[in-house]
Each structure stands twice: as C-alpha cells, then as structure tokens.
C-alpha cells in the first residue's frame, strides 16, 4: 500500500469520525433540546421534563462523552495507521 493511499484512508476515517461526532452532538443539542422538545416533554427526568434536561444538562454531558470518545478513537486510529505518539 502506498503512502498516499494510506494517508487517504487515514483522513477518510478521521473525517468519518468527526462527522459522526458532529451528528450526535447536533442531535443532542439541537434535536432533543429544541426541535424534539414538544415530543419528549412528557418524560420526567430528575424532576423536570426530558427536553428541558437536554437543554440544560444533557447536551453538555453528551458533549463531554463525545470528547473522550473522540480522543480514545483517534488514538486507536493513529495506532492502526502508524502515526501514533511513541
């Protein structure tokens, strides 16, 4: 496998990972907190409805989980493509 092909595979996997993380983030922060709030407002979480919870806390927690997931997955991807830190 040539270096150019390997670089293309690495960046394609990197972009795919970023895209997946951004879609999850957008769904949690905009989808559940704003757009889908009327549909999920009847579900109680911590004394309030689920839409309000996502707007106030849920989207932040999802974002923090995404940060750790991205770091873990990128370290694994770097090792697979031989560009990890030694």
Return the CA Rg of the chain: 18
Q: Rounded to the nearest 5 degrees, what angle is found at the Cα of 11, between the Cα atoms of 8 and 12? A: 80
Q: Residue 2's pLDDT band (boundaries 50, 70, 90)?
A: low
pTM to 2 decimals? 0.77
The pLDDT value given to residue 48? 83
The predicted structure's pLDDT at residue 83:
84
The number of residues making up the chain comes to 86
pLDDT digits (tens, 9 = 90+) for 4-60: 667 889 999 999 999 999 999 988 888 877 888 888 888 887 788 887 887 788 888
- Element housing 45 (H / E): strand 44-45
């Amino acid at each position: 496998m040539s270096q150019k092909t390997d670089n293309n595979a690495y960046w394609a996997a990197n972009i795919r990972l970023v895209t997946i993380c951004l879609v999850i983030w957008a769904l949690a922060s905009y989808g559940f907190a704003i757009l889908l709030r009327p549909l999920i407002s009847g579900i109680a979480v911590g004394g309030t409805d689920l839409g309000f919870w996502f707007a106030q806390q849920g989207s932040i927690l999802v974002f923090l989980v995404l940060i750790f997931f991205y770091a873990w997955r990128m370290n694994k991807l770097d090792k697979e493509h031989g560009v990890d830190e030694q």
